[in-house]
Amino acid sequence: MSKSLRRRGKRSQSISEPKSEFGELATKDVPDSPRQPQKIPSYGTKKCHESRNSLFSSKSGFVAYRGFLNLCVILLAVSNARMFLENVLKYGILVDPFQWLSTVMDNPYQWPNVILMLCSNVFILAAFYIEIAIARGRVSSSHGSILHVLNIILVVLIPPVQVLMLEPDPIGSLFSCGTYAIVFMKLWSYAHTNSWYREEYIKTSNQNKKLRRTSSLPSRDLEKLKNKQIEVKYPYNLTVKNLYYFMFAPTLCYELNYPRTERIRKSFLFRRLIEVLFLLQLELALCQQWIVPTLQKAIVPIHQLDATRMLERLLRLSIPNHFMWLIFFYWFFHSVLNVLAEVLRFADREFYRDWWNSETIVYFWKAWNIPVHKFCTRHVYKPLLTRGYSKFTAQLIVFLLSAFFHEYLVSVPLHVFKLWAFMGMVGQLPLAALTDWMSKRFSPHYGNMLVWTSLIIGQPMAVLAYVYYYYVLRFGGVSDEIQF
Amino acid sequence: MSKSLRRRGKRSQSISEPKSEFGELATKDVPDSPRQPQKIPSYGTKKCHESRNSLFSSKSGFVAYRGFLNLCVILLAVSNARMFLENVLKYGILVDPFQWLSTVMDNPYQWPNVILMLCSNVFILAAFYIEIAIARGRVSSSHGSILHVLNIILVVLIPPVQVLMLEPDPIGSLFSCGTYAIVFMKLWSYAHTNSWYREEYIKTSNQNKKLRRTSSLPSRDLEKLKNKQIEVKYPYNLTVKNLYYFMFAPTLCYELNYPRTERIRKSFLFRRLIEVLFLLQLELALCQQWIVPTLQKAIVPIHQLDATRMLERLLRLSIPNHFMWLIFFYWFFHSVLNVLAEVLRFADREFYRDWWNSETIVYFWKAWNIPVHKFCTRHVYKPLLTRGYSKFTAQLIVFLLSAFFHEYLVSVPLHVFKLWAFMGMVGQLPLAALTDWMSKRFSPHYGNMLVWTSLIIGQPMAVLAYVYYYYVLRFGGVSDEIQF
């Protein structure tokens, strides 16, 4: 980029320099007019025309249109400034920073989702004691695995049951479902990784014939070792503290020893904390000021199946929705996870790669959410490969699992079991083939643009569909109140 | 550009390749965490965390954000598709391709502007006979110059007089004023260039002492020479045909021999003609569907001096206005002038340079309109320099002349003599200093963005101001009809 910039800068400078004489203007090869301008010796100094093509003609060979990209940026800024002004003029200031506080405080003794989230500790401790039991030889390895599987199946089943029984607030439910999905993956990783360590440990101890205490834990020595930050080895890692460090750490993959930072950088932490608070408030403001009025106006066209208005609403929603998604991405994957990592002195900060440059959908899915991608590769894709499944089958299973969790996080909080999120994920497969073909056949930029388009248009389609069904289910039809 | 694209493509490919093992992920130098992850020999294969910074952290040194530029392009397309749909839903289809035809045909025997444009031939022929008279020695060179100056002064004075007397349609007046401005510059160039040729001719003939027929024209020989496309020499160029070729040629600088193409390329001509017709229709449609409703809604806020709404209207107008300007630029400087040039086999097609990459306002003014820029340099700037004026004074005079013609082309057709176009041009001077400073101090891209911003925001400000005053003058206030 910087190289091309310098090249362009130099070229344009050489053009923009004032010419001392028109006759000195750079002569270009003009293939379509072979008759070169002839020299007129006596009046040469007054000559000012030369055989040349216009730049836009394909024969000119001119390709430097970088300035038009800058135009796009400016036009985008101008049109969004206008939309912001129009919105404020139409609806006034709808932002109320304390609305969420009043919603939460409304009934402080009935927080079903907070209680649910606290309940997740039961399953975490259950996983811990299963692991201890296996390590001490009280349960066989295969029985322990069955117990682990039962435990994590309960983890994903609890939130739907709670939602169906108590019908709590959908936003609170989203948080508790998200928490349970994370706990599910973390406990899976904990059980899976410990089983690897156990196998290694047994193999090593059989070889060395030195360690005989396979089935007993020297708990006092363990504490000492832990405090000194010496490398932990199995089974000394099986402590509640070690498990809870993993539960809070910004990763879904359990490991004996994580890379750690030397100290907590206070200024870094402070900046990230400010971001967490400011961006959260900004998301709320965007939602109140921009998304909610747009969504409310969209219900009626969907109900009347007015295709043109539906499309207009979809496009209108797509831009604030996309901004919210971008801010959410930065907020969660950069600010929140870095705060967590800084506090826990967790040194692996690769929470995302450069998905914004994705030329294919496959790269996007690999790059935007590294914790989940790592988990899927380490605990699903590779184990399937080692069991003899083909690459394609393994990839498909990862995709279907991912699709299931997308559906889970939308359907359960909203009570709308329509499989749209699942189908949306399955729809990524043909899209992946298309972006791959476009990037290879044409330019990587076209593939990248298609990835962006699918993000910008795909998400609001799903949002509109789910919100519409939520309203219909909730109010049994379109009420007058939301007809603006 | 293409180089940077390839570089980016390569880098991203190397990232997007599936890793055979997480342990193989490229290790980055992480300056803030000197403690490198230590090797764990026995469990090494299960290791999946490394000390790494997030890409958005300044310490990661990551700069490849090219994908976000593609996002801007897509967002622009989406938001304009929405605006188009909203507009059609709000106003219906306002485009009427035959409106202009009915306006023109309304009163076919009173076309004041067509008659005015035909009258320009009087001044063209006058210039021709003045030149002939000088060449034949019937008028001295200095008296001839005075006659030429009187002639071209009349050329610029006729349209305002006609407008004030007959009050014709403003759009027709714009065309006739434009024609007269072009005739003014062409006749200036004709007289100026011929005076150079005459001096050269006299000098050469005095030296050679061969040619004695300085004051008589061999008209029969001249015709023969002209038809054979042999190089024309002074005074054989002084024919009506030669002058009219110049009057129609897409240049404002007279020359004895222009570079010519061998033949008329029919497919090129056909494509340009299709562009001329299609883009003209598109401009009319954009104007009817988008500009007129926006302008009508803007009159009231300006009248009430409602600042927020005025700004909203200004930003709303700026986007269609800019699109119209871009289309107009392509239509006139690429399509129309190339059609003219192709028909006349005129080989110098440099009607514009890459102004879209302008890093300074000065380069923009030098590059966007090459015929006028050439005229100003050849007939105003350089002659002033040779007469001993400083560069700054010469540049200032060119700017003021240009400002005068901008004002002329707006004020005369609209009857609004407010000097805003003139002031707008004068305002380019501080802007030039600012863009120059930004390009040098920061990045050339910032200079380029400032140039675009001044184009996008500056033009609709002037349009709003003039249209408002035109309405107020015409209707003596804001009528109910335009209050929608």
Please identify among residues 154-213 of chain A the ones whose CB lies closer than 8 Å to any CB of chain B. 193, 196-197, 200, 204
Euclidean distance between CA atoms A454 and A460, whole angstroms: 10
Pick the closest to residue B412 from B160, B157, B115 (CA basis): B160
Confidence of residue B96 (pLDDT cuts 50, 70, 90): confident
Euclidean distance between CA atoms B216 and B235, whole angstroms: 9
Confidence (pLDDT) at A37: 34
Cα nearest neighbour of B308 on chain A: A85
Euclidean distance between CA atoms B460 and B471, whole angstroms: 16
Query: Could you tell me the two tokens for A76?
Result: 């985008």
Query: Could you tell me the two tokens for B13?
Result: 């490919």
B108 prior amide bond cis, ω within 30? no
Q: Write the DSSP string, B252-292.
A: SS--SS--B-SS--HHHHHHHHHHHHHHHHHHHHHIIIIIH
Percent of chain B residues topping a pLDDT of 90? 31
Confidence (pLDDT) at B333: 94
Per domain, the residue ranges of chain A are 113-248, 276-483
Confidence of residue B476 (pLDDT cuts 50, 70, 90): low
**Active-site hit among A303, A334, A406, A415:** A406
Euclidean distance between CA atoms A157 and A180, whole angstroms: 9
Test B347 with A257 for CB contact under 8 angstroms: no
Q: What is the separation of C-alpha A84 from the centre of its chain, rounded to a whole number of angstroms?
A: 26
CA dihedral B383, B389, B393, B399 (to 10 degrees): -10
A87 touches chain B (CB under 8 A): no
DSSP letter at B24?
G
- In this predicted structure, which of A214-218, B257-261, B268-272 has the lowest mean pLDDT? A214-218
pLDDT beyond 90 at B384:
yes
Cα nearest neighbour of B350 on chain A: A54
Pick the closest to residue A254 from B17, B38, B43 (CA basis): B43
- Tell me which residues of B are annotated as active site: 406
Residues A396, A376 contacting (CB under 8 angstroms): no
**Which residues partner with A52 through β-bridges?**
B348
Euclidean distance between CA atoms A97 and A287, whole angstroms: 11
3-state secondary structure of A416: coil
Q: Between B309 and A450, where is the model more confident?
A: A450
Pick the closest to residue B348 from B374, B387, B324, B366 (CA basis): B374
Q: Between B483 and A192, where is the model more confident?
A: A192
Test A89 with B3 for CB contact under 8 angstroms: no
Half-sphere exposure of A81 (CA within 13 A, CB side): 18
- In this predicted structure, which of A354-363, B226-235, B442-451, B458-467 has the lowest mean pLDDT? B226-235
Query: Could you tell me the two tokens for B247?
Result: 């009057």
What is the tens place of the pLDDT at every residue in B49-80?
A: 888 888 888 787 777 777 887 888 888 888 88
Cα nearest neighbour of B367 on chain A: A16
Confidence of residue B8 (pLDDT cuts 50, 70, 90): very low
Supply φ then ψ for residue B260, to 5 degrees. -125, 150
A93 touches chain B (CB under 8 A): no
Angle between helices B391-414 and B170-208 (to 10 degrees): 140
Say which amino acid occupies B135: A
Of B34, B35, B78, nearest to A315 by CB-CB distance is B78
Confidence of residue B106 (pLDDT cuts 50, 70, 90): low
As to burial, measured by CB atoms within 10 angstroms (0-12 exposed, 13-18 middle, 19+ buried), residue A94 is middle
Cα–Cα separations (whole angstroms), residue A364 to A318, A389, B15, B27:
19, 24, 11, 21
Confidence (pLDDT) at B194: 93
Task: Output A240-243 pairs: Cβ under 8 A, ≥24 positions apart.
Answer: A240/A125, A240/A128, A243/A124, A243/A127, A243/A128, A243/A190
What is the tens place of the pLDDT at every residue in B201-252?
A: 888 888 876 545 444 455 555 555 555 557 788 888 899 999 999 999 999 9
A345 touches chain B (CB under 8 A): no
Pick the closest to residue A334 from A259, A273, A248 (CA basis): A273
Q: How far is B186 from chain A (nearest CA, A)?
A: 14
Chain B residues whose beta carbon lies within 8 Å of the beta carbon of residue A352: 54-55
Q: Which residue shows structure tokens 């009219």?
A: B244
Chains A and B form CB pairs within 8 A to the count of: 339
Contacts of B159 (CB under 8 A, 6+ apart): B116, B173, B176, B177, B180, B412
Q: How far is A104 from chain B (nearest CA, A)?
A: 33
Chain B residues whose beta carbon lies within 8 Å of the beta carbon of residue A56: 330, 334
Confidence (pLDDT) at A13: 38
Q: Which residue shows structure tokens 């130099």?
A: A10
Of B52, B322, B351, nearest to A348 by CB-CB distance is B52
Query: Could you tell me the two tokens for B15?
Result: 């990232």
Test B367 with A16 for CB contact under 8 angstroms: yes
Test B66 with A357 for CB contact under 8 angstroms: yes
Euclidean distance between CA atoms B15 and B8, whole angstroms: 11
Euclidean distance between CA atoms B258 and B206, whole angstroms: 27
Euclidean distance between CA atoms B484 and B471, whole angstroms: 15
Test A309 with B89 for CB contact under 8 angstroms: yes
A71 touches chain B (CB under 8 A): yes
Burial letters B422-457, b for 16+ CB under 10 A, else e: bebbeebeebbeebbebbeeeebbbbbbbbbbbbbb
DSSP letter at B421?
H
Say which amino acid occupies B61: G
Please identify among residues 298-317 of chain A the ones whose CB lies closer than 8 Å to any CB of chain B. 308-309, 311-312, 315-316
**Which residues partner with B260 through β-bridges?**
B346
pLDDT beyond 70 at B18:
no
Euclidean distance between CA atoms A51 and A32, whole angstroms: 10
Q: Write the DSSP string, A300-362.
A: HHHHTT-HHHHHHHHHHHHHHHHHHHHHHHIIIIIIIHHHHHHHTTB-B--S---GGG-SSHH
Chain B residues whose beta carbon lies within 8 Å of the beta carbon of residue A70: 445, 448-449, 452
CB atoms within 10 A of CB A484: 10
Euclidean distance between CA atoms B224 and B246, whole angstroms: 19
Chain A residues whose beta carbon lies within 8 Å of the beta carbon of residue B363: 12, 15-16
Chain B residues whose beta carbon lies within 8 Å of the beta carbon of residue A313: none
B406 touches chain A (CB under 8 A): no
Test B32 with A65 for CB contact under 8 angstroms: no
Test A35 with B261 for CB contact under 8 angstroms: yes
B374 touches chain A (CB under 8 A): yes
Please identify among residues 25-54 of chain B the ones whose CB lies closer than 8 Å to any CB of chain A. 30, 32-35, 37-38, 40, 42-43, 46-54
One pLDDT digit (tens) per residue for chain A, 484 residues? 333 333 333 333 333 333 333 333 333 333 333 333 333 333 334 678 888 888 888 787 777 777 887 888 888 888 888 888 888 888 887 777 777 667 666 655 557 778 888 889 999 999 999 999 999 989 998 999 999 999 999 999 998 888 888 877 788 888 889 999 999 999 999 999 999 999 888 888 887 765 454 444 555 555 555 555 567 888 888 999 999 999 999 999 999 889 999 899 999 999 999 999 999 988 888 888 888 888 888 777 777 777 888 888 888 888 889 999 999 999 999 999 999 999 999 999 999 988 998 988 889 988 999 999 999 999 999 999 999 999 989 988 998 888 888 888 888 888 877 788 888 888 888 888 898 898 888 888 888 989 999 999 988 888 888 888 887 777 665 544 444 3
CB atoms within 10 A of CB A105: 9
CA end-to-end span of chain B = 49
The CA-based angle A443-A447-A450, given to 5 degrees, is 135
Of A54, A197, A261, nearest to B33 by CB-CB distance is A261
